[in-house]
């Protein structure tokens, strides 16, 4: 009993340390968003001498905060829907059909997981110029989806393969088509893994910088990561509004995670059990 109590104390201590490591950066960011540069340089842990709420208005003026956050949410949502739909369709074929091209296609998706993003910037930029697709959201959505689809197919395929095929056979006997089987039977069972991957894809689409920096030039189409660069001047940086922008940019991702965190946790646990 004493040994178990010692282990419990150790785990509580580690949980406390982890909680502080998670909460402190958030508190520093919120407090810094209400300070000016001098107050921030004097100490990030100190409370603001004057609560500068106007930093949030300055953030919107400097970087079009509301517009850029809306652009990022739109891109993230479209990417998430496209990856989910296409990924589930591909995973169903790869997991349930016995066709001669299944293994080569699956291996092709696996190779896609290992492709470094940075080595594709030049050819993708050339494609965008040839297609007149710069400053185009649909082209960015296709790029984001392409880089997230391989991982989604890998996870969805593994999850569907873990589902008993007798369920498919019973549904087919009852007259289910492939579309009905996937949409009405398999997809509800796959909700945990779909939610888990959807969170990852949404965060990627919301915070991606490299391609938005390369393909977007119009300020009204800037995403959160691209708009963040507006705060860096030639000689100085106004850090208060920059921190305010970060706080506003965090809200959508926190909101999404709070809604779906239970599904994410169940997806991780079910993946570990079904592994």
Residue 2 is predicted with a pLDDT of 64
Share of the chain above pLDDT 90, in %: 29
Residue 4 is predicted with a pLDDT of 72
DSSP 151-209: HHHHHHHHHHHTS-HHHHHHHHHTT--HHHIIIIIIHHHTHHHHHHHHHHHHHHHHH--
pLDDT grade for 265, boundaries at 50, 70 and 90:
low
Q: Which residue has the higher pLDDT, 215 or 272?
A: 215
Long-range CB contacts (within 8 A, 24+) of 63-67 = 63/222, 63/227, 63/228, 63/230, 63/231, 63/245, 64/219, 64/220, 64/222, 64/227, 65/227, 65/244, 65/245, 65/248, 65/249, 66/248, 67/220, 67/222
pLDDT above 90 (res 25): no
Residue 10 is predicted with a pLDDT of 82
Over residues 126-137, mean pLDDT: 90
Residue 88 is predicted with a pLDDT of 94
Q: Which two tokens stand for residue 159?
A: 């999850």
Sequence ranges of the domains in the chain = 55-274
pLDDT above 70 (res 269): no
* CA-to-CA separations, 69 to 206, 228, 247, 249, in angstroms, rounded: 8, 11, 11, 6
pLDDT above 70 (res 136): yes
Cβ count within 10 A of residue 48: 17
Secondary structure (3-state) at 22: helix
Over residues 135-143, mean pLDDT: 93
Residue 224 is predicted with a pLDDT of 93
- Domain spanning 55-274: which CATH class is it, in words? mainly alpha
160 closest CA partner among 86, 96, 112: 96
pLDDT above 80 (res 45): no
pLDDT grade for 51, boundaries at 50, 70 and 90:
confident
Q: Which two tokens stand for residue 137?
A: 């959201």
Residue 272 is predicted with a pLDDT of 42
pLDDT tens-digit readout, 93-111:
998 888 888 888 888 888 8
pLDDT above 50 (res 115): yes
Q: Which of 7-16, 126-135, 136-145, 255-264 has the lowest mean pLDDT?
A: 255-264
Residue 271 is predicted with a pLDDT of 46
pLDDT grade for 254, boundaries at 50, 70 and 90:
confident
Mean pLDDT of the chain, nearest integer: 85
Residue 139 is predicted with a pLDDT of 94
Over residues 118-143, mean pLDDT: 91
């Amino acid at each position: 009993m004493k040994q178990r109590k010692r282990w419990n104390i150790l785990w509580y201590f580690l949980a406390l340390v982890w909680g502080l490591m998670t909460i402190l950066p958030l508190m520093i960011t919120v407090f810094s968003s209400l300070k000016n540069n001098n107050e921030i340089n004097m100490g990030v842990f100190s409370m603001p001498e004057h609560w500068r709420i106007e930093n949030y208005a300055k953030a919107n003026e400097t970087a079009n905060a509301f517009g850029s956050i809306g652009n990022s949410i739109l891109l993230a949502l479209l990417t998430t829907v496209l990856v989910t739909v296409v990924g589930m369709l591909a995973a169903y074929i790869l997991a349930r059909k016995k066709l001669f091209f299944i293994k080569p296609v699956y291996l092709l998706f696996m190779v896609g997981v290992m492709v470094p993003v940075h080595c594709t910037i030049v050819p993708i930029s050339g494609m965008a110029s040839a297609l007149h697709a710069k400053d185009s959201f649909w082209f960015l959505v296709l790029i984001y989806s392409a880089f997230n689809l391989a991982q989604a197919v890998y996870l969805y395929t593994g999850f569907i393969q873990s589902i008993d095929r007798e369920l498919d056979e019973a549904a087919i006997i009852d007259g289910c088509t492939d579309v009905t089987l996937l949409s009405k039977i398999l997809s509800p069972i796959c909700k945990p893994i779909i939610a888990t991957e959807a969170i990852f894809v949404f965060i990627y689409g919301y915070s991606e910088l490299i391609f938005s920096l390369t393909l977007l030039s119009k300020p009204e189409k800037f995403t959160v990561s691209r708009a963040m660069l507006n705060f860096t001047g030639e000689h100085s940086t106004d850090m208060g509004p920059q921190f305010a922008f970060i706080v506003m940019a965090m809200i959508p991702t926190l909101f999404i995670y709070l809604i779906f965190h239970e599904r994410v946790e169940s997806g991780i646990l079910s993946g570990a059990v079904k592994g």
